[in-house]
Amino acid sequence: MGDYSSIHTSSEVNPRRIELLEQRFFSSKQVPMHTNSLSSPASANNLQQHRHQLNQQQQQVSNQQHQQSSQHNNHQQATTNQLASTRSLDPSDALAKANNSSYHQHIYHHHSLASHQHHQQQQQQQKQQSMQVISNTPHQQVNHQQQNQLDISQSIVNHHSSKISIEKEIQTELDMSRLKDIDTKTAAQTTKLESLQRNRDDLDREVQEHKKKIAKQKEQLDRCIDVTKQLLIDKSQLEKKAARQRCMQNRLRLGQFVTQRQGASFVENWVDGYAFSELLKKQEAVSHEKEEIDKQRKLLSKRRPSTSNSKPRVANSINSNSPSSAQDSGLSPATSSSGGNSTNDQKSGTSNGSEFLKPEAPKDYVHRHKELDYYEQEEILKIRHVALRKEDTELQLEYEKLERERNLHIRELKRIHNEDQSKFNDHRVLHDKYLLLTLLGKGGFSEVHKAFDLEKQRYVACKIHQLNKEWKQEKKDNYVKHALREYEIHKKLEHPRIVRLFDVFEIDANSFCTVLEYCDGHDLDFYLKQHKCIPEREARSIVMQIVNALKYLNEIKPPIIHYDLKPGNILLGSGNLSGEIKITDFGLSKIMDDDNYSPDYGMDLTSQGAGTYWYLPPECFVVGKTPPKISSKVDVWSVGVIFYQCLYGKKPFGHNQSQATILEEETILKAKEVEFPSKPVVTSEAKTFIRSCLQYRKEDRVDVFSLANMDFLKDRSKGRGQGSSEAKS
């Protein structure tokens, strides 16, 4: 690129320079100018024609130079733009473009030199043609010196024109300093590009190392998950095996279902085990012994001696031993009071000549002996009767315990049977992360499995909904719509007294799964079946937690009515009454949005007939031209029924009736006032709380917020001394 230092910056032809060169040339050659040779008309005309031809050729050369100059300027402008664009491009791209531009400039320079050589060849050919024209003209006589002069002038013009053409072709606006700047920038960009390339290589190596670490950790995590899965499966299999062994043992002890024939069909009937048989034998023995004791007591009462003959003797004996008699006999009171036995008294009386005590007659002795024997037998029979009553009470408690064990046994038998019949009993993994372990329970169209979330490392409850293949598509769509509606309501609820909903996903075309929070314990309904009733303090704790959850449901926007509050939907977290409870099953919930709910009138009950009738208020059973109006006071009524059932062990309305009977006899519509049994004893504050919840008219019934602010739920001392206020009254 140093050759550009000799480039001329001016591209215009200087006529003065041509004349000086001509003078220099002619003076150096010293060519004589003969005037007589130029004075002839023919030679003048020929010279004029040649000059005209030379002018035309010069004009053509200038045109070609102008075209080449314009092409070179365009190419130079493009090169400059490319060099300018390298500032905003990537260093590697800028370097490539700069190299490409230098390459094009080099090619263009060689092309200009080649075109210059080609132009000289064309000028030489034109000169030869002009010489042939002059030599072939017979009438024109041109002097040899004139021809030499024309050749010299022609060569001078051609030389200058070709030189000017070369200067124009290789001309550029880039000077040496600009080129050095470009070289410096290119070198800096090259250095920066190399540095960036090295950094990129280092980052690539780090990325590869991190990828290897991640792959190694993922492989290790997969192995850990596989080990965890296998351990959980082994534990589940051991638990299943132990549960089946217990059931086999309890079948003999507690009983089992036996298939028996009734007419033309076979039914399964329950047959109690040997534990109940032995207990019944003990109860029968106790009853038989109690009957024998009652018979003996009746016979003994017939032999009861009369007290008429014994009273005077007792009086005489008392008088004979009195101090006055002792004084009459001459004995001091000290002697009589300290005196020894009766024989000594008799002896002393005899020696003093006092009244003589006659010995008892044999008849009286026998009578006295019978009397003592009677009292002895009577006391023995009383003690035996008390012992039998105690034993009978113990046997009754043992029978109740066996009944609870039998209920658990029946529940476990049904669970094992349903688990064996389930198609999800093979410890499969759902949704690539939920490992199914054991079946917890089965409803109408759903199964609840205990599962383990391999991703979150926690136990969950997977509720698998299975659609009947024989259903019509419309019924399937309604079921799925109902389940998705429950999911949309439940997934937004976050409260410690409400079961969390984690996930919903599809298993296949006829089944899908909802993932819920797992609670290790039974529901309140099962606990009440086992223990009949609950002490007031524990029942009050359960009601407090339920009301707290209802308050949350009414504070969120839009508020929600649960509509299906019952003991079966209240889970005991630790399986007993001392822990926390959680509310579940929002399948019948109602959303009190602005479009459907009015604070003054409530909202329409669109699902009349659904729900559990024992726990629904009277307004849900009203039949008319328009649907009944409901509000959150539906849940308040349910709270009152649950509290009553916890305290007294039975439902306040329709206890032993079926849902069909309740509907036919309009039991709830007639439940205008609640009645409280005398046993067990309950505080008046608890009764007032229940009455507030079970008001017949919904206008008179308290709402959720008023219920939460009642003193009965706030004062912690209430319910501790169960029955204290009742006892005082």
CB burial of residue 663 (10 Å; 0-12, 13-18, 19+):
middle
Report pLDDT digits (tens) over 638-685. Answer: 999 999 999 999 999 999 888 899 999 999 999 889 999 998 999 999
pLDDT for 579 beyond 90 = no
Buried b (16+ CB within 10 A) or exposed e, 346-371: bebbeeeebeeeeeeeeeeeeeeeeb
Angle at 58 between CA 52 and CA 59, to 5 degrees: 90
* Distance, CA of 640 to CA of 572 (rounded, Å): 19
| H-only helix segments in 556-654 | 633-648
Q: Which residue has the tokens 């308290």?
A: 702
Phi, psi for residue 151 in degrees, rounded to 5: -65, -40
Report helix angle 144-169 to 91-135, nearest 10.
170
Report pLDDT digits (tens) over 450-486. Answer: 999 999 999 999 999 888 888 888 888 888 887 887 7
- Residue of 233, 275, 226 lying closest to 253 (CA atoms): 275
Instruction: Count other C-beta atoms under 10 Å from residue 501's C-beta.
Output: 22
Using only C-alpha atoms, what is the Rg of the chain?
62
DSSP string, 526-539: HHHHHHS---HHHH
Residue 144 tokens read as 């040899």
Residues whose CB is less than 8 angstroms from the CB of residue 325 and which lie 6 or more positions away in sequence, other chains included: 319, 336, 354
- Please report which confidence band the pLDDT of residue 725 belongs to, taking 50, 70 and 90 as the band edges: very low
- 463 marked as binding residue: yes
Phi, psi for residue 504 in degrees, rounded to 5: -140, 130
* Distance, CA of 646 to CA of 549 (rounded, Å): 18
* Distance, CA of 670 to CA of 656 (rounded, Å): 16
* Distance, CA of 314 to CA of 304 (rounded, Å): 18
Residues whose CB is less than 8 angstroms from the CB of residue 511 and which lie 6 or more positions away in sequence, other chains included: 464, 465, 466, 467
Most confident of 114-128, 134-148, 248-262: 248-262
* Distance, CA of 635 to CA of 698 (rounded, Å): 11
* Distance, CA of 321 to CA of 656 (rounded, Å): 71
Q: Which residue has the tokens 């909802």?
A: 514
Residues of the chain with CATH 3.30.200.20: 422-517
Residues whose CB is less than 8 angstroms from the CB of residue 533 and which lie 6 or more positions away in sequence, other chains included: 646, 647, 648, 649, 680
pLDDT for 35 beyond 90 = no
Report pLDDT digits (tens) over 69-78. Answer: 677 667 666 6
The pLDDT of residue 67 is 74
Residue 380 tokens read as 């023995």
The pLDDT of residue 366 is 58
Work out the average pLDDT over 244-256.
91
Work out the average pLDDT over 4-24.
48
pLDDT for 718 beyond 50 = no
Domain 422-517 has CATH 2.40.110.10: no
- Residue of 530, 504, 612, 628 lying closest to 568 (CA atoms): 612
Instruction: List residues bridging with 463 in a β-sheet.
Output: 448, 514
Q: Residue type at 528?
A: L
The pLDDT of residue 701 is 94
Spatial contact of 173 and 75, defined as CB atoms under 8 Å apart? no
CB burial of residue 727 (10 Å; 0-12, 13-18, 19+):
exposed
The pLDDT of residue 12 is 44
Question: Which active-site residues does the annotation give?
Answer: 564
| H-only helix segments in 136-175 | 144-169
Residue 250 tokens read as 């309890």
Spatial contact of 587 and 620, defined as CB atoms under 8 Å apart? no
The pLDDT of residue 314 is 42
pLDDT for 163 beyond 50 = yes
* Distance, CA of 411 to CA of 422 (rounded, Å): 16
pLDDT: is 608 or 358 the higher one? 608
Cis link prior to 333 (omega < 30° from 0)?
no
Report pLDDT digits (tens) over 263-272. Answer: 888 888 899 9
User: What 3-state DSSP class applies to 446?
Assistant: strand
Spatial contact of 533 and 605, defined as CB atoms under 8 Å apart? no
Of 295-304, 521-530, 709-718, the one with minimum mean pLDDT is: 709-718
Q: What is the CATH number of domain 524-728?
A: 1.10.510.10
User: How many residues make up the chain in this entry?
Assistant: 729
Report pLDDT digits (tens) over 219-236. Answer: 999 999 999 999 999 999
Instruction: List residues bridging with 259 in a β-sheet.
Output: 268
Strands 255-262 and 434-442: unpaired
Residues whose CB is less than 8 angstroms from the CB of residue 591 and which lie 6 or more positions away in sequence, other chains included: 489, 558, 559, 560
Cα four-point dihedral sign 282, 283, 289, 292: negative
Cis link prior to 558 (omega < 30° from 0)?
yes
Residue 205, CB-side half-sphere exposure with 13 Å CA sphere:
5
Residue 220, CB-side half-sphere exposure with 13 Å CA sphere:
6
Residue 113 tokens read as 């030199």
- Residue of 230, 227, 224, 221 lying closest to 427 (CA atoms): 230
3-class SS shares of the chain: helix, strand, coil, % to 5: 60, 10, 30
Residues of the chain with CATH 1.10.510.10: 524-728
